[in-house]
Chain A
Amino acid sequence: MDERDLDRQLVERAQRGDKHAFELLVSKYQRKLARLLARFIRDPSEVEDVAQEAFIKAYRALPSFRGDSAFYTWLYRIGINTAKNYLVAMGRRAPTATGFDSEDAEGFEDGEQLRDVNTPESVLMSKEIARTVSDTMEQLPEELREAITLREIEGLSYEDIATIMNCPIGTVRSRIFRAREAIADRLRPLLETRKDRRW
């Protein structure tokens, strides 16, 4: 199944009462959503509050999600609305950013270093994570680095990557996995210092 189907599968499970499925979606989209909201809300800790609120609203609104659009697009709109309402409630005006009501969530500009969305307590942690990821990437064998870059940054399919790297599709799958594992291995000690999830 492709990525869009995967999200839809998770949503459908959540709609049938499986909260864990929704948690997987939260884990997946939390940073992306926070980054979006940071365009309109200056204070990083407020961004986090609003993002959490948006997720809860999305959960409550699940019955009305019919799968006509991608899950993130739907989440994006809920996020925007939540941010709007928050600013109004705080007596602030929403900035007249052009992308405010944009339908095209996918067209969001990545790669710009916007202001830090971290809460003060974990600012060090995030920087450490970012640096660990970047250091490990540099040390990866070239074919692993290339594969994961083409996937995560260029967003290419395995098939396209295999064509570019002139290798079997199965090799692409293996290389991306090995790159992820190599980085995850280095991150493990960092991540374990955070408190464990409550299940």
Chain B
Amino acid sequence: MILPRARRLFGPLGVLPFLLPVSAAIAQTDTTALQWLQRIYAATQKLSYTGTFVYQQGQQVETSRIIHIVEASGPRERLETLDGNPREIIRTGDEVVCYLPASTTVKIDKQPGRRAFPEILSEQLKDLSENYSIRKGEVERVGGYSCQVIALEPKDRMRYGHRLWADLNTGMLLKAKTFDEKNDVLEQFAFTQIQIGGNIGRDQLKSRYFRQSRDWRVEDSGTTRANLAEAGWTIRSRPAGFRTVTELVRTMGGTSGVGHIVLSDGLAAISVFIQPATSKQPGPQPGLMRQGAINVYARPVGSYWVTVVGEAPPESVKYIADSVEYRR
């Protein structure tokens, strides 16, 4: 990390006047770094691209191909895994279709409340700089592109750190890493090959399983917005900066009426799932589970199960789970 070294170089008074703004900014958020984040968000909404990326988490490595085309009606994407378990995801607007050939299932999900680019800016970026130190790093090469490194350092232990590599030219995110408080990499992804812009055929968005899937089982989550507070559910307290983004009700694993609250600090999202415990669906494993950057904590509340899922440290996830209350 640059920070300790910089302190040694400049000392407490910042030495050279014209360098003062820079050194003062080191401990806070670098506004141009914030602008870079805006660019990164904008890129996913405005750019069409196709490429191959590798996702790694622990010892697990997975290669996938993605095609992302921005049309007048919004972005459309197709992602498919190239190794390991076959899986294909197609997104059109706020609807996601997931083809799972191994279980001959098609899962359909609507995602209301998933914000498009302009809306993220005003609220969330302000949140971000309150909860993270955001700085520009070096310029490094990723897959043939020169990228600006942006570092997001958490201001407390309730969230993870991130490092982003964004193409200098387009702002496209080409590589990212998530770190724990010991600076160990929890997960990372990187494009190994990418074509930004140019001619990308729409036919590439069609599912490979389109015909095969005609007789597969279709599971539709039937997700709609909901007011869970009205139903009596509150989150008594939450880690700094985590605000409610949306509240939904959905069907999950055969159980309908599952409440879903999404919290976010501007970067990391945490989901709170509330489902009635029935004899058919006894609920998830209580306690903490984790894989890479994701932590899951489940606990019973009355005759319900509360499951919290997030890319945040176990403390955060447990804290939120313990704060969920039901008041009639």
Contacts and interface: CB of A to CB of B under 8 A. Distances in A.
Interface of A: 158-159, 162, 166-171, 173-174
Contact of B207 (A158, A168, A173): A168
A114 B294 CA distance: 65
B108 interface: yes
Contacts of A170: 106, 213-218
8 contacts: A158-B214, A159-B214, A168-B97, A168-B108, A170-B218, A171-B106, A173-B214, A174-B218
Number of chain B interface residues as a range: 10 to 19
B18 interface: no
Question: 7 closest pairs, A vs B, by CB?
Answer: A169-B214, A170-B218, A168-B106, A170-B106, A168-B213, A170-B216, A174-B218
Interface of B: 92, 97, 99, 106, 108, 207, 210-211, 213-218, 220
Given A159-B211, A162-B210, A171 B218 contact: yes
A158 B210 CA distance: 11
A171 B105 CA distance: 12
B287 to A, nearest CB: 36
A147 B92 CA distance: 18
B214 A167 contact: no
B254 to A, nearest CB: 16
A165 to B, nearest CB: 11
A41 B82 CA distance: 65
- Listed residue (A170, A173, A174) with the most chain B CB atoms within 10 angstroms of its CB: A170
Nearest to B216: A170
B210 A169 contact: yes
A171 B218 CA distance: 7
Given A169-B210, A169-B214, A170-B214, 16 more contacts: A158-B214, A159-B214, A168-B97, A168-B99, A168-B106, A168-B216, A168-B218, A169-B211, A170-B106, A170-B215, A170-B218, A171-B108, A171-B218, A173-B214, A174-B218, A174-B220
B97 A169 contact: no
A158 B220 CA distance: 18
Contacts of A173: 214
A152 B106 CA distance: 25
A104 B286 CA distance: 67
B248 to A, nearest CB: 18
Contacts of A166: 92
Nearest to A170: B218
Nearest to B99: A168
A174 B106 CA distance: 12
Contacts of A167: 97, 108
